[in-house]
Structure formats: structure tokens, C-alpha cells
Amino acid sequence: MISDADISALWLSIQLSTFSTIILMIIGTPLAWWLSKSKFFLKPVIQTLISMPLVLPPTVLGFYLLIFLGQNGPLADITNFMGLGILAFSFSGLLIGSIIYSLPFVVQPIYSSFMANGNHSSDVAATLGASKLDRFFSIEVPMASPGFITAAILGFAHTLGEFGVVLMIGGNIPGKTKVLSIAIYDHVEAVEYASAHSLSAIMLTISFVLLMLVYFFNNKYSHFNYVN
């Protein structure tokens, strides 16, 4: 019931989600930290931009990415110059699309954790001799760890489930850009319901388990925000 092509699509989805999550955590952490501390007057604009994928139809996002990264797009010259070639219809293109698409799901939980913890503990640590960087790693990040776990799981799960962006920017190239959600769509189109069922069940299970992990962690770490 599950063909080699399906396995390859599943594997591609997992690879895409993994790389996206890693890159999102690296970009999202400083971004969320900056947002939680900054009083910059344009902060709401930046927050809006980050949150756009929450409301925008994925096809719109995918369409713009296709325009920008495609053959005649304004970014094509740059990616060509960097030796990356044309990113549309490539795994790198998918990765960029996924990162933008899942950014709010990663930034928001980390931002909320930083906000909930406030500056107090960091102030205490400062009077005990810890520098700013020291405080970030010894106090702020560990205290925000529930937010990080939620962010990583949501980022991973959300990328795993994306369809519209991937279809627009990646096309449907088996083994290269054909991810699980597209494979399911193809099976339905071809009236291969048994295969669609199997793959959908896999997606359902993975999504359920991942979301359940988020809620388990959230409940377990709720004491982190303990206030006297």
C-alpha cells in the first residue's frame, strides 16, 4: 500500500521539517528575545510581518515566493551570484518557504515565554555578578524552556502539514519537492484511496502525538510561571 515513492515523500517531509525547525530556532530565538525587550516604535510592524502567514492563504505566500525566487525574479540574480542557482522548484526553495510560513509558530511561544518571565530574574542575576550574555544563557533561556519546546514542536508539525506554499514554490517533483501532503493529494486525484488513507493515517498520528507532547510539556512546566 505504501510505495517507495510514498516513503520518499515521507522522508522528504521529515527532512524539510527538521531543517526548517533547526533554522527557525536559530533565527526565532534572537528575534523573539529582541521583540520581548525592544521599545522600538516600529515593533508592531515587524510583529505584523512575522504573523502574516497566520492569516494569509498559503498559496498567496507561495505565489510571491515563486515570483521572487523564480527564473526572472528579483532574487534570482542574487541566488545565481551566490552559486545557489534558481531556488524555485528546489529543496532550498521549499526550505525558505517553510521557514517564512512557520516563523510565527516558532517566534510566538518563545516571545510569550520571555514576556511572561519578565526582567526580574535577570535583574537578580545581574546583582549576583552575571553579565548580559551569561544571564541570557543561564537564566532567560532555561526559564523560557517550555516556550522553546512548544516552538520546536509547533514549528516541526506545522511544516510537516504545509501544502499550499510547497505546491507553489516546489512544484511536485518526486524525490525532490514532493512532500507527504502533496503525495496524498496526488493519490486522491488518481482515486488511489487506499494509499491516501495510509498516508493520511500516518500524518494524523504524527500530528496528534506532536501536539499531545506540546500540551504535556505545557502542563508539566506550568510551575515555571509561579508567582508568589
- List interacting residues with other proteins (CB under 8 A): 120-121, 123-132, 134-135, 138-139, 142-143, 145, 223-224, 226-228
- Spatial distance between the Cα atoms of 147 and 113, rounded to a whole number of angstroms: 5
61 near 130, Cβ under 8 Å? no
Closest CA to 97 of 203, 177, 25: 177
What cell does 36 get? 520581548
For other proteins, the closer of residues 140 and 162 by Cβ is: 140
Q: Nearest approach, Cβ of 140 to other proteins (angstroms)? A: 10
Q: Nearest approach, Cβ of 222 to other proteins (angstroms)? A: 11
Q: Nearest approach, Cβ of 29 to other proteins (angstroms)? A: 17
- Spatial distance between the Cα atoms of 167 and 67, rounded to a whole number of angstroms: 14
For other proteins, the closer of residues 9 and 32 by Cβ is: 32
For other proteins, the closer of residues 15 and 145 by Cβ is: 145
For other proteins, the closer of residues 145 and 200 by Cβ is: 145
Q: Nearest approach, Cβ of 138 to other proteins (angstroms)? A: 8
- Spatial distance between the Cα atoms of 125 and 80, rounded to a whole number of angstroms: 48
DSSP letter (8 states) at residue 139: I
